[in-house]
Amino acid sequence: MLKDFKAFILRGNVLDLAVAVVIGVAFTAVITALVEDLITPLIAAIFGSHDFSALTFTIHKSTFKYGAFINALLAFVLVATALFFFVVMPANALVQRARREPTPDPTTKKCPECLSEIPIDARRCAFCTSELS
């Protein structure tokens, strides 16, 4: 059982997933810092004099920090945008490139009568026996 577990853990896709999670967490921290330290103050400078993280409202002595939610929402949108443009679009392009039709064999052609593949040098179709020009 321990041998099977070791084989499972050391498979490439499990290690790749672990690396992806660690990089994703680090990337999220960078994007969160970008939003909180650069984008939010820039938006606040344009539209008002305060920072989003300080925006709150109170109902019956309960404080709701909707500014922190706006920061988290901006961070999510930026992470999703970066993933789309740097991961999803290139992966889709690679898959589409791999799915292309193979180029036809230059040593064959189609019979004009029955559309069968025949050698380029053939003078008569082997399938329908029509003469070829």
Q: Tell me the pTM.
A: 0.50
Predicted confidence (pLDDT) at residue 14 exceeds the cutoff of 80: no
- In the chain, domain spans: 2-98, 103-133
Q: What is the pLDDT of residues 19-49, one digit of tens each?
A: 788 888 888 888 878 877 887 778 778 877 5
Per-residue model confidence (pLDDT) at position 105: 63
Cβ–Cβ < 8 Å for 53, 67: yes
Fold (CATH) for 2-98: 1.10.1200
Report for 1-5, 12-16, 75-79, 125-129: range of highest mean pLDDT = 125-129
Residue 59: pLDDT band with limits 50, 70, 90: very high
Give the residue from 72, 25, 130, 34 showing the smallest Cα distance to 122: 130
Q: What is the pLDDT of residues 77-114, one digit of tens each?
A: 887 887 788 878 988 888 888 887 777 668 888 899 99
